[in-house]
Structures are given as structure tokens and as C-alpha cells.
């Protein structure tokens, strides 16, 4: 079926503005295949059902818009955590600003170099999980990323990493347009914590493909910076093996437009897969969490916990789906999406979905949207706590369930302190 | 200590008067009890005094140690020394009881220009007071009142009172939902706080509590007013005969 003309035009205009890499080799082949997917699907348009609540125009335009660079003397997130730092400036790897990529049990290669080498495991992953994740719902921006990204890291984990790997995304140029594609393979029994922080660029398109083998664990904590004007589309594709653990948490404070997609395929039995997010929006802020979790094995547990604090015209979106395939018995699926609206101008749109083809499953989902609980607020004030502080306490309490999804206490405390500062900066 | 003068209160949202010309004066160091039929306005009085939204004062005034209570924010009233033990303490999931207590104690200290308690000193203090109320470490760690039994909630109110050391304590049916032993514990907690500079207004339906916390004055409230004031014997009369005789007498 031919694509609508408008979609063809948008797609063609975007592709024309890109200098597509011409490297050949296995990476070149993967990119070519992805380019074919982009052409076949076309980039998202405002009429697409999957983009009903979020306008994709800024993400699909030929050029990035302008985004002021936030200047702050606040210490960066994760600064106090012992970790291996890999710095990307406007989406381009900066070796000088980075640590040596040396960590026992972890092999780290830049994507640019990986293409020239015959890294067979990466070949089986790059663009592969993304391609698999195009069914049943298309994610063309991810395919575009596979086709065009030249930056990113390729990480193989063979043991229990002693410390986290931290991808640090600095935003320096007001019109930067970044594309990064990371590939992670956590081998059987291995463990890695991956940290990402920073706004990355005026516009970011990022893809993270994660293959978690049997008995392996992958922890992911991400903070998307505090820049106000930046726009971002991110995708996480996960394939999770038997008894593996996958935990991802994202903090988004500010940002004119963010679309975070997580697509997880539970392929082995006894998997535990958690995706969570806390989003804080004040004013020109549109934040969209789109999650698709497929249970294709027995006795797996998945959790989606998304909380949004919105004020002053901020908009929150949640589209979350749990798909339980035939035979995926004893599935325990949980999904909650909630927004706290701090005034009448904020808005939350949610589309929670369950699709179940097995009979012995326990799935629950809920979505709520509400204001601060006046009874609780009065109770705190009656004990002498000022209105602003009491409101912040209740706001943090609202976010608690999402924060609890961060397993490491030091990381959780760091994120919590960011939430508290964000609120503190807004006290009247 | 607390002076209420011809107080009239209606609901903000509708034209319904609830307190209809209530006057009351509690002297420093005294314990006053208020008894009265369901719906007579006792809790409303406690809410209006502590600054809850939703009520409109149409006439009269209320002062605490000479300061106009009704002009203050709820937190200012608390810092000025007013404390309400809620009839229905609110559950606050996500806020740890300990964090809540420490924030409250320090907020009041700050408002009064005093130094904040160090984490160590606070912990010592809260442990000692919790122990005397048989509140275990687990209850301190859990979110405020969340999943607490009725009696645990009431003991938690008294713990807050003990930590905050207010000057004017209003206890709204703190005895309801308490078993016999808990009633003794709570009463002992209250009695331990009795001193010349602190007053109590104890709202209750049962004379039994007043055996433990002996009042100096007992008021009967009906239809938004104090209709009779007397000594402890008034509570006994209510216990034995109900309100019918008293209400008939003043009608
Ligand atoms: N927000 C409100 N909306 C509607 N009616 C209210 C409200 N607050 C109080 N009232 C009404 O005012 C009256 C007094 O209520 P209040 O709770 O003060 O009584 P009370 O004396 O404490 O009763 P109890 O002994 O049952 O605790 C009742 O008729 C109650 O229904
Ligand atoms: Mg009452």
C-alpha cells in the first residue's frame, strides 16, 4: 500500500537532510535494511494512531530547532557515583573528556569502530531488536536511527561489572541534532548498571538495544537533563532471557518534547522486567511514555510504573500495553500510570491496554489523574509544616512508587535529591 | 489560653450554619472537656480553630494567648502552640512517619526562631516517647498512619503531640477505637504533658476517658452552642442519663 503523500514528503525531506553513512560491512548492511524499513513505513505523522497524543513534527523535521543551553552550577546527576564515564558532546563521543573504557568483565567499543571489526554478537543485535520491535506497532524513528546513527557504544558484559558505565550527554550547541545508537549484550549470569544523563542535544534521537541473556541482570537509570527547549525521541528495545532481570528508570525534568518508548520482549521463563519513570513538567513540557511489553514465556513478571507531576500547561502522555501471548501462563503483569496535576492548566492523557491470550495470568492496570490531597495537606500543615513544603512532601510521596524501582540506594537518593531541588526551585 | 467569643461558623459551600454563637474560655493549665450528641459541631469547632478550609466564620472571634487565631494559616497556628489530635487521622502513603515527625518538629522550631533538632537528638527523643506509648520501630518507619489500626492511629496522634509540645491541645475523640490498655497508655501520655503552661480541650462521648484524664470543667455542646457548663459530675450525669434531660432543661 502506498504511503500517503504527506508522509512520503516528510520522510523524503528528512532523509535528504541526512548524510547517511556509507561504510559497507555488516553495519552498512544493517543500516541499509533499516533504511528500507523507514521508506516502507514512512516517518510518523500527526494522523497516526500511535501519535494521537504527541505531535511528531519537531522530531521528524529535516532540521533540529533551537534549544538554549541550560547553564547551572548544580553538580551533574551521578557525579558522586564511582563509574566509568563516556562523554558525548552534542551526540559526538569525546574521548578526551571520557574515562578509559576499561572495566573488568565489560568490553566497550565505539559504534564507529565496531562497524569495521567483525563483532559477531553485535551483528546479531544492531538493528535486530529494533526491527523485531516494529511489529505489531511501527516505530519509524527507531528505524531511522538504525539507518543513520554513527555514534554510540557497543557493550558486551561477561561478568558482574564492579561499577556502572555512565553515558554522559552534554548539550553545547543550540541547534545540535544528535543520533546515538547503543547496543548492549549482557551474557549469561553477567550484570551491568548503565547510567545515562544529560539533555544530549537540541534534538535527540536515541536507540538502546539490550539483550539480557539467561540469569543476567541489567539495571538502567537515566536522567534526561534539565534543558527546557530540547526535544527527544528515545527507544529502548529489550530481549530478556530465562531468569533475567531488567530494570529501567527514567527521570525527565523539563524538556519541550520527550517521547520515551520501551519495547520489551520476555522470551525466557521466570523473567522480571520493570520499566519506570518520573516526569516533572512546568510550562512548555510535553512528555510521552510509550511502553509495549510482550510476555512470550511462562511465569514472568513485568511492572510499569509511571508518575508525572505537571503544572502550568504541562502535558503528560502514557501509552502502555501488556501483550500476553498464547502459552505465557502464570504471567504477572502490573501497570500503573498516574499524574499529579498541580493546577488546572496541566493535562494528562493515558491509554492503558491489556491484550491477553493465555488463561492463567494475573494482570492489573490503573491510571489516575488528580490534584494534591487536601486532607493530607491540611494534616501536614496542622502539624506546622508550611503549605509549600507540605505540597512538596506529598509530591515526592506521589513519586515514591516509581523511585522504588531503582534498586541501588545511592542512585535512588541521587535521583530523589534532583526531584526535591526541582520542586524547591519552584517554591513561591 | 484559648478564648472563643460568640463564634458563628457556616459551611463555605452551602448556607448551613454549624457553630451558632459559641463561647468558651480555657485557662492555662486547665483541662476542659466537651461532650455532646453526634453532629452537634464538636469536630467542626476543632477544625475551625486549627484552620481547615471549607468553613466560613460569620461572627465572633477566637484567640490563642491573645493572638487572633482565625487570621493565621494552619501552620502558624501550630507554631503558635495549637495542636489538634484528629478524630480521623489521615493516612499519607509515601511519607515516612519519622520524616514527617522530624519535618514537623523542625518546621515549628524554625517558625519560632529556635534551632532545629539534630538528627541524633531527634532520634533519641522520638524513641523515648514512642516507647512510652508502645509505638514500635516499625510503626515509626511506615508511612504516616498508612495501614495503622484505629488505636495505632490515635497513639500516633499522641506521639506527635508529645514531640511537638504544644500549649493548647485539642483532642477530638482520641479515646474512640482504643482498647482498655491503649486508653490507659494514651491517658498517661496526656497526663505526662499536663502542666501549668499547657491546656487541654478534650472532646469525648465517654465518661470513662475522663476518669483517666480528670477535667476541671465539662461543657455540653448541642446544636452549635455550649448549652451547659459544670464540673466533672456533669460527665457522670451524661453517662447515666444521656443528653435528653440536659437538653430539655435548656430548651
Ligand atoms: N464539610 C461539610 N459538609 C457538609 N456537612 C458538614 C460538613 N462539616 C460538618 N458538617 C455537618 O455539620 C454537623 C456537625 O458536624 P461535626 O462533625 O462537627 O459533629 P460532631 O459533633 O463532631 O459529631 P460526632 O460526635 O459524630 O463526631 C453535622 O451535621 C455534619 O454533617
Ligand atoms: Mg466529631
Each residue's pLDDT tens digit, A306-340:
999 999 999 999 999 999 999 999 999 999 999 99
Q: Is residue A193 part of a domain?
A: yes
| Distances in whole angstroms, Cα of residue A263 to Cα of each of A134, A299, B226 | 9, 19, 66
Nearest CA owner, ligand 1 atom 2: B11
Instruction: Determine whether the interchain pair A382/B160 forms a contact, defined as Cβ–Cβ distance below 8 Å.
Output: no
| Distances in whole angstroms, Cα of residue A338 to Cα of each of A279, A307, B181 | 10, 5, 42
Q: How far apart are CA A165 and CA A163, in angstroms?
A: 7
Task: Give residue B51's region: left, alpha or beta (phi > 0; psi -120 to 50).
Answer: left
Could you say which of B52, B75, B94 has the minimum Cβ distance to residue A387?
A: B75
Q: Which residues of B touch A384 (CB under 8 A)?
A: 75, 78-79, 104, 107-108, 111, 164
Nearest CA owner, ligand 1 atom 25: B38
Q: How far apart are CA A317 and CA A347, in angstroms?
A: 9
pLDDT at position A1 is 63
A378: nearest CA partner in chain B: B52
Q: How far apart are CA B160 and CA A244, in angstroms?
A: 45
Is pLDDT at A297 greater than 90 in this prediction? yes
Q: Which of A69, A309, A112, A95 is nearest to A198 (CA)?
A: A69
pLDDT at position A163 is 97
Q: Hey, which residues does A317 pair with through a beta bridge?
A: A288, A349
Is pLDDT at B240 greater than 90 in this prediction? no
Q: How far apart are CA B64 and CA B60, in angstroms?
A: 14
Could you say which of B73, B90, B103 has the minimum Cβ distance to residue A379?
A: B90
Is pLDDT at A411 greater than 80 in this prediction? yes
Produce one character per residue of B180-204: b if its CB has 16 or more CB atoms within 10 Å, e if not.
eebbebbbebbeebeeeebbbbbbb
CA B79 to chain CA centroid, Å, is: 15
Helices of type H across A321-404: 374-381, 387-403
- Nearest ligand 1 atom to the CA of B55 is 1
**Which of the residue ranges A15-24, A160-169, B176-185 has the most confident prediction, judged by mean pLDDT?**
A160-169
For residue A168, which phi and psi values (nearest 5 degrees)?
A: -110, 125
Higher pLDDT, A300 or B128: A300
Mean pLDDT across A286-300: 98
Task: Find where cell 519535618 sits.
Answer: B103
The DSSP call for residue A69 is: P
Mean pLDDT across A274-279: 98
Q: Hey, which residues does A166 pair with through a beta bridge?
A: A85, A195
Distance B18 CA to ligand 1 centre (A): 8
Distance B223 CA to ligand 2 centre (A): 13
Q: Is residue A392 part of a domain?
A: no
The answer to whether B166 touches B201, Cβ cutoff 8 Å, is no
E-strand spans in B97-206? 143-144, 168-172, 199-203
For chain A, what is the mean pLDDT? 96
| Distances in whole angstroms, Cα of residue B163 to Cα of each of A49, A271, A340, B138, B157 | 56, 47, 31, 18, 10
Is pLDDT at A237 greater than 80 in this prediction? yes
CB-count burial class (<10 Å; 0-12, 13-18, 19+) for B21: middle
pLDDT band at B243 (very low <50, low <70, confident <90, very high): confident
ipTM for the predicted complex comes to 0.96
For A381, residues 6+ apart whose C-beta sits below 8 A from its C-beta are: A387, A390, B51, B73, B74, B75, B78
Q: Which residues of A touch B78 (CB under 8 A)?
A: 381-384
Q: Strands B143-144, B92-96: parallel, antiparallel or unpaired by DSSP?
A: antiparallel
Q: How far apart are CA B101 and CA B144, in angstroms?
A: 9
Instruction: Determine whether the interchain pair B75/A378 forms a contact, defined as Cβ–Cβ distance below 8 Å.
Output: no
The answer to whether A163 touches A108, Cβ cutoff 8 Å, is no
Q: Is B89 on the interface with A (CB under 8 A)?
A: yes
B48: nearest CA partner in chain A: A382
Q: Which residues of A touch B111 (CB under 8 A)?
A: 384
The answer to whether B106 touches B149, Cβ cutoff 8 Å, is no
pLDDT at position A77 is 97
Q: How far apart are CA A18 and CA B157, in angstroms?
A: 65
pLDDT tens track for A176-216: 999 999 999 999 999 999 999 999 999 999 999 999 999 99
Mutate one of B46, B107, B114, B145 to test the A interface: name it (highest A CB count within 10 A): B107
Helices H, strands E: what count in chain A?
Answer: 10, 20
Task: Find where cell 546513527 sits.
Answer: A149
Mean pLDDT across A369-394: 97
Interface of A to B at Cβ within 8 Å reads 373-376, 378-387, 389-390, 393-394, 396-401
Q: Is residue A428 part of a domain?
A: no
For the sheet containing A257-266, what is the strand order? A102-103, A106-110, A153-157, A177-186, A203-212, A231-240, A257-266, A286-295, A315-324, A347-356
Q: Is residue A115 part of a domain?
A: yes
Q: What is the pTM of this model?
A: 0.94
The x, y and z cell numbers of residue B187, run together, are: 491517658
Is pLDDT at A173 greater than 90 in this prediction? yes
Q: Is residue A155 part of a domain?
A: yes
Q: Which residues of A touch B52 (CB under 8 A)?
A: 378, 382
Domain of residue A355 covers 5-372
Return the best residue to mutate from B17, B41, B45, B221 for the ligand 1 pocket (most ligand atoms within 8 A of CB). B41
pLDDT at position A428 is 66
Q: Is residue A409 part of a domain?
A: no
Mean pLDDT across A9-20: 95
The x, y and z cell numbers of residue B172, run together, are: 477530638
The x, y and z cell numbers of residue B210, run together, are: 475522663
Second-level CATH architecture of B2-184+194-250: 3-Layer(aba) Sandwich (3.40)
Q: Which residues of B touch A394 (CB under 8 A)?
A: 92, 94-95
- A vs B, Cβ pairs < 8 A, gives 79
pLDDT at position A44 is 97
pLDDT band at A380 (very low <50, low <70, confident <90, very high): very high
E-strand spans in chain B? 2-11, 17-26, 31-35, 55-64, 67-68, 82-85, 92-96, 143-144, 168-172, 199-203, 217-222, 225-230
Could you say which of B89, B92, B111 has the minimum Cβ distance to residue A384?
A: B111
pLDDT band at A283 (very low <50, low <70, confident <90, very high): very high
The answer to whether A233 touches A59, Cβ cutoff 8 Å, is yes
Distance B29 CA to ligand 2 centre (A): 24
Instruction: Determine whether the interchain pair A382/B84 forms a contact, defined as Cβ–Cβ distance below 8 Å.
Output: yes
Return the best residue to mutate from B14, B18, B172, B224 for the ligand 1 pocket (most ligand atoms within 8 A of CB). B18
Q: Is residue A280 part of a domain?
A: yes
pLDDT tens track for A54-95: 999 999 999 999 999 999 999 999 999 999 999 999 999 999
pLDDT band at B246 (very low <50, low <70, confident <90, very high): confident
Mean pLDDT across B153-167: 93
SS3 B73: coil
For residue B97, which phi and psi values (nearest 5 degrees)?
A: -60, -40
For chain B, what is the mean pLDDT? 92
Mean pLDDT across A208-236: 98
Q: Is B12 on the interface with A (CB under 8 A)?
A: no
Q: Which residues of A touch B50 (CB under 8 A)?
A: 382
pLDDT at position B241 is 86
B78: nearest CA partner in chain A: A384
Q: Which residues of A touch B126 (CB under 8 A)?
A: none
pLDDT at position A385 is 97
Q: Is residue A253 part of a domain?
A: yes
Lining ligand 1 with CB less than 6 A are B 11, 18, 36, 38-44, 54, 87
pLDDT at position A119 is 87
pLDDT band at B185 (very low <50, low <70, confident <90, very high): confident
pLDDT tens track for B186-218: 898 899 999 999 999 999 998 888 889 999 999
Instruction: Determine whether the interchain pair B92/A376 forms a contact, defined as Cβ–Cβ distance below 8 Å.
Output: yes
pLDDT band at A289 (very low <50, low <70, confident <90, very high): very high
Which ligand gives the minimal distance to the CA of B48? Answer: 1
The DSSP call for residue A90 is: T
Is pLDDT at B248 greater than 80 in this prediction? yes
Amino acid at each position: 500500500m502506498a504511503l500517503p503523500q504527506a508522509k512520503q514528503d516528510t520522510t523524503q525531506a528528512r532523509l535528504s537532510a541526512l548524510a547517511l553513512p556509507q561504510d559497507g560491512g555488516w553495519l552498512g548492511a544493517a543500516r541499509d535494511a533499516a533504511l528500507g524499513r523507514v521508506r516502507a513505513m514512512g516517518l510518523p505523522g500527526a494522523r497516526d494512531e500511535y501519535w494521537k497524543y504527541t505531535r511528531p513534527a519537531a522530531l521528524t523535521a529535516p532540521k533540529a530547532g533551537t534549544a538554549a543551553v541550560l547553564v547551572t552550577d548544580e553538580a551533574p546527576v551521578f557525579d558522586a557515583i564511582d563509574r566509568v564515564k563516556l562523554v558525548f558532546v552534542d551526540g559526538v563521543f569525546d574521548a578526551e573528556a571520557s574515562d578509559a573504557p576499561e572495566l573488568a568483565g565489560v568490553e566497550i567499543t565505539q559504534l564507529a569502530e565496531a562497524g569495521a571489526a567483525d563483532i559477531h554478537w553485535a551483528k546479531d543485535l544492531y538493528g535486530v531488536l529494533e526491527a523485531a520491535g516494529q511489529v505489531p506497532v511501527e516505530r519509524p524513528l527507531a528505524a531511522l536511527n538504525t539507518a543513520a546513527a554513527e555514534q554510540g557504544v557497543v557493550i558486551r558484559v561477561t561478568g558482574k561489572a564492579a561499577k556502572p558505565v555512565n553515558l554522559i550527554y552534554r548539550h553545547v550547541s543550540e541547534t545540535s541534532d544528535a543520533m546515538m545508537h547503543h547496543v548492549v549484550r549482557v551474557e549469561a549470569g553477567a550484570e551491568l548498571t548503565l547510567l545515562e544523563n544529560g539533555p544530549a542535544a537540541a534534538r535527540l534521537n536515541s536507540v538502546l538495544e539490550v539483550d539480557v541473556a539467561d540469569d543476567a541482570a541489567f539495571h538502567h537509570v537515566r536522567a534526561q537533563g534539565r534543558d527546557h527547549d530540547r526535544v527527544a525521541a528515545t527507544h529502548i528495545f529489550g530481549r530478556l532471557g530465562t531468569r533475567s532481570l531488567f530494570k529501567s528508570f527514567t527521570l525527565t525534568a523539563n524538556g519541550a518534547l520527550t517521547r520515551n518508548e520501551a519495547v520489551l520482549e520476555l522470551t525466557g521463563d521466570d523473567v522480571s522486567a520493570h520499566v519506570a519513570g518520573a516526569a516533572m513538567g512546568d510550562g512548555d513540557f510535553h512528555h510521552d511514555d510509550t511502553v509495549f511489553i510482550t510476555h512470550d514465556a511462562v511465569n514472568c513478571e513485568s511492572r510499569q510504573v509511571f508518575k508525572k507531576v505537571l503544572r502550568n500547561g504541562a502535558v503528560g502522555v502514557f501509552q502502555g500495553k501488556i501483550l500476553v501471548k498464547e502459552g505465557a501462563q502464570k504471567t504477572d503483569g502490573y501497570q500503573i500510570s498516574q499524574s499529579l496535576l498541580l493546577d488546572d492548566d496541566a493535562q494528562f492523557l493515558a491509554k492503558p491496554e491489556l491484550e491477553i491470550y493465555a488463561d492463567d495470568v494475573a494482570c492489573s492496570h490503573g491510571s489516575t489523574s488528580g490534584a494534591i490531597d487536601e486532607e493530607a495537606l491540611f494534616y501536614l500543615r496542622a502539624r506546622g509544616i508550611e503549605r509549600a513544603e507540605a505540597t512538596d512532601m506529598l509530591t515526592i510521596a506521589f513519586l515514591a512508587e516509581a523511585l522504588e524501582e531503582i534498586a541501588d540506594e545511592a542512585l535512588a537518593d541521587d535521583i530523589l535529591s534532583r526531584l526535591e531541588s526541582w520542586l524547591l526551585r519552584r517554591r513561591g | 489560653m484559648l478564648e472563643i467569643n460568640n463564634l458563628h461558623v457556616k459551611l463555605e459551600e452551602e448556607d448551613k450554619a454549624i457553630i451558632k454563637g459559641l463561647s468558651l474560655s480555657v485557662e492555662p493549665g486547665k483541662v476542659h472537656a466537651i461532650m455532646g450528641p453526634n453532629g452537634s459541631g464538636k469536630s467542626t469547632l476543632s477544625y475551625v480553630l486549627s484552620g481547615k478550609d471549607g468553613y466560613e466564620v460569620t461572627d465572633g472571634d477566637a484567640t490563642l494567648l491573645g493572638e487572633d487565631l482565625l487570621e493565621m494559616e494552619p501552620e502558624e497556628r501550630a507554631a503558635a502552640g495549637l495542636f489538634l489530635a484528629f478524630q480521623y487521622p489521615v493516612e499519607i502513603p509515601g511519607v515516612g512517619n519519622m520524616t514527617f515527625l522530624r519535618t514537623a518538629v523542625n518546621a515549628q522550631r524554625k517558625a519560632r526562631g529556635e534551632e532545629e533538632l539534630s538528627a541524633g537528638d531527634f532520634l533519641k527523643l522520638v524513641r523515648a516517647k514512642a516507647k512510652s506509648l508502645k509505638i514500635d520501630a516499625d510503626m515509626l518507619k511506615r508511612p504516616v498512619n498508612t495501614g495503622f489500626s484505629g488505636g495505632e492511629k490515635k497513639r500516633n496522634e499522641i506521639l506527635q503531640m508529645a514531640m511537638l509540645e504544644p500549649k493548647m491541645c485539642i483532642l477530638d475523640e482520641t479515646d474512640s477505637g482504643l482498647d482498655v490498655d491503649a486508653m490507659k497508655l494514651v491517658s498517661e501520655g496526656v497526663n505526662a504533658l499536663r502542666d501549668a503552661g499547657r491546656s487541654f480541650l478534650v472532646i469525648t462521648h465517654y465518661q470513662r476517658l475522663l476518669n483517666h484524664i480528670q477535667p476541671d470543667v465539662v461543657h455540653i455542646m448541642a446544636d452549635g452552642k455550649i448549652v451547659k457548663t459544670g464540673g466533672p459530675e456533669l460527665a457522670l450525669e451524661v453517662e447515666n442519663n444521656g443528653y435528653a434531660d440536659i437538653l430539655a432543661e435548656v430548651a
